[in-house]
Structure 1
Amino acid sequence: MKKIKPTYLGAVALVVGISPLANAQDRQDTIIVSSPGPVRTADELVGNATSMDRESIIDHLSGTLGDTLDRQPGVSSTFFGAGASRPVLRGLGAERVLVLTNGIGTIDVSATSPDHQVMADGLDAQRIEILRGPAALAYGGQAIGGIVNVIDGLIVETIPSDPATLDLYGAYNSQNDGEELSARTQFTAGNFVFTGIATTREFEDYDIPTFAESDAFRRLEEQEHHEEDEDDHDEEHDHEDEHDLHSEAIGTVENSFLDTSQLSAGVSWIGSNTFWGVGIRHQDSKYGIPGHSHEEHGEEDHDHEEEDHDDELHEDELHEEEMPFIDMEQTRYDFRGGIKFESNFLTELIATASYADYEHVEFEAPGIAGTSFSSEGFESRVELGHEWKGINGAWGLQVIDKELASKGEEAFITPTRQNAIGVFLYETKDWENGFGLEGGLRVDDIEYDNDIMGSAKFDLASGSLGLHQHWESGWFIGTQLSYTQRAPNESELFARGPHLATSQYEVGDASLEKETGLNFEGTVRWQNDIFEIGVSAFHTDFTDFIFLSPSTIVVEGETVSEVDELAVNGFMQEDATFSGGEIYTSLEVEDGILGANWSLNANVDYVDGQLDEGGNVPYLPPLTFNAGSHARWGGLKLGAELTIAAEQNNQGAAQLPTEGYTLVNLSSSYDLPVFNSDSKKAEIFLKVNNVGDEEIRYSTSVLKDVIPAPGRNIRVGFRLSM
């Protein structure tokens, strides 16, 4: 069993025995709109729900969605440099965490590979919700780990209180010489509300405090180097030159730039009991794929005569190493409408539909286009709310029709079309004594049609039941049991080819069965007007859990574990068990120590994943402690954040251990009094992230041993709302 250092015992003690310095978000006022059925607040849900408002998003804003959410309880990131990352919820990511934009899938290819950017990054978001538990299952088996819903407010449902608003944000980041800007405007004309959003982000290569490669990785390279055949001196000498070239990468992560922009517009018509709206978004993004060179993994002729042909030519090839990058764009059209009924049974009807056209090209070098990926699809969702004898809920229908295609020498997924239809119901019932029930059922029919491998069809059924008890004293106890089935995605079924972003030759399996999870979760929390503490624990038994692991394939009659110097990794199934939980707490005190309004919040999260036949589930986050404290004197606000991540020694097969780290962030902001009023606010801020310039590597990242997270960053900026 992994030992827990005294530091972490102290961290847990801090969470449990938090002192009255502080303040946090009042959860009982936090409405979770992602939950189907009646309007409910976070404290009414059995599952752990989190909501970040615009101010919190700006405070933690990073270049990617996963990094922005990284400090939330039970959330980590697949960190892939500055350009791409997805959130990981309780050790589950990619195809098991559903990322939504205003309740509809992002219709991109981010779940197929960690180097693919998700088409939602938070820069334009008004709110981000994280939902787990029975309510999340209304979104299907792909939400077995939970959902992350990015809400931009492009289509509004009620007339705003202000006839016209403007929100501007801008910041400069020192560690990548990066600039980010966003502008949002909204105005009302009669029953119509018009919204426009523009964002841009431009980052150069980011700075790091140490070598790009981890100590463990460099030791492994050195060991492999010494084990080479000493009889071939020339070949050994060449490899030594190449090793020295890469191991000396220090101070900056080459090819880690990011350049992205988005333009959005929406119009809504709002009546007394109905609304409808349309929106359009266009996003362009270009970013480097750090830690990789296509030339490093290309086909090579190992004949000694060619190896020794020209030492000078070999040196030139090393210095002309290609720097791959991705150039992507997406255009998305949204429609959303609703009507409220004045009846004794039906309450409202909400319909949402989105169409998106996505494409990205992976360039091997400027002007040299390589593999391209495209995703074009339509997704719609209809929810019919109802109330009968105290039972509130929603019936729903969801339809997905999309096509994924890739072209080029490194296209590891052949064209695949997906058609899916799902129906669900979600019901809640609360009694006056504080006891309540919630639960849902969902069935899905999913069919994939691949141009090469043929078709695969899956019939899925999922269900959940939760019960809870509220007390007027502030106590809440809840428990839920859920049974979830998930269909394999396109990569898991049909991948076959070189995937240079992960330095693997990926092999899918068209015969994979559906994945089944039986989850039990319990929650205990207590809160009053200023204080909250909660504990959530979970245990999930997976049948036929799908994961990527070292494998072999047959090439020209020979069984091999490498193809073109890329390790073969295949998708396989095995029963697995996940268990863990979170402890979280927050407190608010006005006119506290030093005459300030204080806020303090803290959380600890842990997850363990074991394969039933032995071994660890790969890419799991470590035991992590987060704490934050902020003090406000009028318009001045000062804050500090602390993250302590333990070592991750329970790594998956063919992985190296990941060192722990301690991260300290400091922040300050000032509200300019000349602008401050009920309708206006102007804020300038200065933040220093990673104050100690620590080496930080995420165990959830496939690049953890070849690139670390950014070093110290000074971020200065402003926000204007009027």
Structure 2
Amino acid sequence: MFKIPFFLLVLALFTKNVSAQNKETIFTVPNVFITSKIKPSQNFESDRGNILFEAHDIEQNKQYSIGDMLKDLPGVSSQGLGVASRPIIRGMNNSRVKILQNSGFLSDVSEFGEDHIVGYDPMLIDKIEIIKGPGTLLYGNNGFAGVVNIINPLIPVDKPISDQDVEANFGYQTSGGELKTALKFGKSISNYTVRGSGSFLSSGPYDLANSSTEQPNSSKFMTSGGIGLTYNDGENYIGVSLDKLEAVYSLPGAEGEENLTSLNPTRNSINFKSSLALDNKFFKKLNFDGTVSEYSHAERTTSGNNHNIEFFNDAYEFKTSLNHKSLISQNEDGLIGFHFQNKNQGAEGAEESHLTSTKTNSFALFILENFKFNYFDLDIGGRIESVNLKNTTYERGFFPGAFSSTLKKELFTNNTAFFGFDFTQRAPNVVELFSEGPHHALENFENGDANLDVETSYNISLGYNYNENLNKLKIETYFNYINDFIAADRDGTTVDVEGEDFNNVVHLQYDAIFTGIELSGQYNFAKYQNFDFLTNFMVDFLKGYRPRDSLNDKAISRIPQSKLNVGLQAKSDDWDAELSYYHYFDKDFLGPFQTRTGGHSRLDFNLTKDFSYSNVSGHLMFGAKNILDVVGRNHLESKKSQVQLPGRSFIFMVKVFY
């Protein structure tokens, strides 16, 4: 447990002077992106690897967990078990993908196992920013595959702000009889704003494809809410928010009580954000962010009798930074900062343990600089970090470093090419180092290695971006060589746990290569009356392998299927209709003790109609998922032989603004 008075002290110190940029309405989140950008960017997606997932895209793809929401995007996949999932970026998972809430730490244990959900309710998400590649040095070396930033509007950092607004969401999905609702509200008086939100979701087991049956043990429940108070005078701001999440969900498995598990995540968080405009010849802004968060869940059989192991992650962090003024004529902007994180993590029970309680402390200094030359722009960044992990048996210390650079050249109007190079080191996490015991939901017996060293990534990416009105094209290819890659592989043996055979999983290091190409685009091929007709497409091919192994054992475990999608869309000011086809290819280049996964396809349809009456506006949405009711399996599903992807379902939703 952590003490709130620390934040009250900071609040008192910063109340008089606090900064903001850009403009927003109450439920339109700001354009201040959290990645390696120093300034707000209106062309976020033109930078290498970046994806902006917002508004209608989120409404059409709301799922119980974040991984399933993002899995159809270029470079992003989902690894999970049943209804739980976590995003994978360019084939890399766990501590290589950092998940944030409003650019602050999001406390959960999703990186410890694919049976754990990300600890945030998708019903309350307004925008998701994704940056792929190691250029995320503001937020830690342990996210070099990418950052996923979940944004909600509890702390408005921009002006002007609406005096009063209410937004309500109501939805129903036929599969599982899923009911969901969300409410957001805000009230502003002078420079002070109060914002709140709440949500509820409940569903039974989801329907299977080409069958009248349901996926056993796949029911889910979630409720969450939050409130925020902000002072914002247009030049300075200070805000604090509190939010809470509670959920219960079941996980499928083989027959027998020991293999059917339920989890009950609970998370409490306090977030603090402030910015002070400075008036001197060297610096423009002083920023301070802080987070205190508690998370826990118990893993039990469905009857609650056995393996009552509690996973927990209690954390606090603070980050301060200074935006400096131009140092030389080519230096547009720059930032220097300090970042501290403290985490207490573990998985313990009365009769058995998976991970001994371990404390992790990290201190880091970072710098980001932006340069504009006659022929190109250059962004560079660096980070040095000290990481210490300690429990009752072991203590390990690491000193990872990182450097990131992007060179961007506008070839001609609306056409940009970019090249990036990144060197990033990551310290092993607590599970990789110190786990020793059964993980019942996954039916694994996990063995950490306290002698693991840092893994080092050398990443090169090259790309091209075209963006003009409704026409878009983006191509990016990457090559990522990782020295001493930390893997969690099965060794082919089993361990007896309460009469069940669990796969023995060991953590070891070897060199690895991740390479791929991503292609996405949109073309406005016709216009009729007030409708635009568009076609869109996406192709994502990737490969992960061990360069020094024999040909028969080269593949790395947990590499997702390559995929493509194509779609047709008709949109006007009031209507939006889209038909989308998704295809996931066969996966037969396999890691140790994996089995082949056949390809599958999915056809979806979405129709949205906007409306307005007096002071009320909103839209109605109808969606159909997997229209052809095709059977499919995810190669990264932890229990692939027992878990299918959902079958056909229909979605009805109404969203109202007042």
Matched residue, 1:383: 321
Aligned to 1:469: 409
Residue of 230, 233, 238 corresponding to 1:271: 233
CA distance in 2 between partners of 1:666 and 1:104 (Å): 35
Task: Give 3-state SS (helix, strand or coil) of 2:356's partner.
Answer: coil
Partners of 1:434 and 1:471 within 8 A in 2? no
- The corresponding residue for 2:474 is 534
Name the residue aligned to 2:359. 417
CA distance in 1: counterparts of 2:55 and 2:234, whole angstroms: 28
Mapped to 2, the partners of 1:158 and 1:468 lie a distance apart of 28
Out of 220, 244, 267, the position equivalent to 1:258 is 220
2:88 alignment counterpart: 88
Letter in 1 for 2:325: E
The alpha carbon displacement at 1:674 in A equals: 2.8
Q: 2:391 aligns with which of 443, 450, 456?
A: 450
Residue equivalent to 2:243:
281
Q: Residues 205 and 371 of structure 1: is their aligned pair in 2 closer, same or farther, counting only changes over 3 Å?
A: same
Question: 1:251: Cα distance to partner?
Answer: 2.0
Shift in alpha-carbon separation, 1:33–1:374, aligned structure 2, 3 A:
closer
1:191-270, aligned counterparts within 5 Å? 191-209=191-209, 251-270=213-232
- How far 1:140 sits from its partner (Å)? 2.1
Q: Deviations over 1:81-113 (max 9, x none)?
A: 22x211111111111100000111212111111
Moved more, 514-523 or 374-383: 374-383
SS, match of residue 539 in structure 1: strand
Pick from 608, 612, 622: which aligns with 1:686?
622
Give a deviation string over 1:199-219, Cα, whole Å, max 9, x none: 1111111111258xxxxxxxx
Say whether 1:577 aligns with 2:577. Answer: no
Give the residue type in structure 2 aligned to 1:535: I
Normalising by structure 2, report the TM-score.
0.90
Give the partner amino acid of 2:222: T
Find out whether 1:632 has 2:571 as its counterpart: yes
Task: Indicate the SS of the match to 2:431.
Answer: helix
C-alpha distance in 2, partners of 1:379/1:505?
32
For 1:611, give the aligned amino acid.
R
How many residues are aligned here?
Answer: 617
Counterpart residue identity of residue 555, structure 2: N
Give the secondary-structure state (helix, strand or coil) at the position aligned to 1:465. strand
Shift of 1:134: 5.6
Contact 2:637 2:643 in 1 (8 A): no
Aligned to 1:63: 64
Task: Give, in angstroms, the shift of residue 334 of structure 1.
Answer: 0.8
Structure 2 distance, partners of 1:188, 1:441, is 39
**For residue 452 of structure 2, what is the aligned residue in structure 1?**
512
8 Å Cα contact 2:238/2:273 also seen in 1: yes
Among 364, 367, 381, the residue aligned to 1:440: 381
Tell me if the contact between 2:558 and 2:636 (Cα under 8 Å) persists in the aligned partners: yes
Give the match's secondary structure for 1:672: strand
Counterparts in 2 of 1:116-515, with a 5 A limit? 116-133=116-133, 135-209=135-209, 251-292=213-254, 295-296=257-258, 323-368=260-305, 370-388=308-326, 389=328, 390-391=330-331, 392-408=333-349, 409-431=351-373, 433-452=374-393, 454-515=394-455
CA distance in 2, matches of 1:420, 1:292: 40
**Aligned-partner Cα distance in 1 for 2:523–2:120:** 31
**Kept in 2: contact 1:134–1:438 (CA 8 A):** no
- How many angstroms apart in 1 are the aligned matches of 2:418 and 2:572? 38
Partner of 2:580: 641
Deviation at residue 143 of structure 1 after TM alignment: 1.1
Following superposition, the deviation at residue 683 of structure 1 comes to 1.1
CA distance in 2, matches of 1:705, 1:292: 9
- Report the AA paired with residue 231 of structure 2: W
Give the deviation of 1:714 after TM superposition.
0.5
Structure 1 residues 145-187: Cα deviation after superposition (integer angstroms, max 9, x where no partner): 0000001121111344421111111110111111111100011
Q: Calculate the TM-score normalised by the size of structure 1.
A: 0.82
Question: CA offset at residue 402 of structure 1?
Answer: 1.2
Whether the 8 Å contact between 2:38 and 2:335 is mirrored in structure 1 is yes
Aligned partner of residue 597 in structure 2, secondary structure? coil
Deviation at 1:607?
Answer: 1.1
For the residues of structure 1 that align with 2:412 and 2:247, how far apart are their CA atoms? 50
Which residue in the other structure is 1:650 paired with? 589
CA distance in 1, matches of 2:367, 2:593: 43
Which deviates more from structure 2 when the two are superposed, residues 191-200 or residues 386-395?
A: 386-395
In the aligned structure 2, how far is the partner of 1:474 from the partner of 1:633?
A: 24
Residues 598 and 434 (structure 1 numbering): CA distance in 2 closer, same or farther, change over 3 Å?
A: farther
Give, in whole Å, the separation in 2 of the partners of 1:31 and 1:443.
25
Q: Which residue of 2 aligns with 1:617?
A: 556
Point out the more displaced range, 271-280 or 357-366: 357-366
**Take 2:61 and 2:182, find their aligned partners in 1: how far apart are those partners?**
15
Conserved 8 A contact 1:619-1:701: no
Amino acid at match of 2:171: A
Judging changes above 3 Å, is the alpha-carbon distance between structure 1 residues 701 and 121 closer, same or farther for their aligned structure 2 residues? Answer: farther
Decide whether the 8 Å contact of 1:622 with 1:645 is kept in 2. Answer: yes
Amino acid of the structure 2 residue aligned with 1:259: F
| Gap change, CA 1:635 and 1:44, over 3 Å in 2 | closer
For the residue of structure 2 that corresponds to 1:57, the secondary structure is: helix
Using the alignment, how far apart are the partners of 2:47 and 2:79 within structure 1? 27
> 1:685 offset after TM fit, Å?
1.3
Helix, strand or coil at the partner of 1:666: strand
> For the pair shown, which has the larger CA radius of gyration, 1 or 2?
1
Instruction: Give the helix-richer structure, 1 or 2.
Output: 1
Larger relative contact order (CA 8 Å, sep ≥ 6)? 1
Is the CA contact 2:299–2:441 (under 8 Å) kept in the aligned structure 1? Answer: no
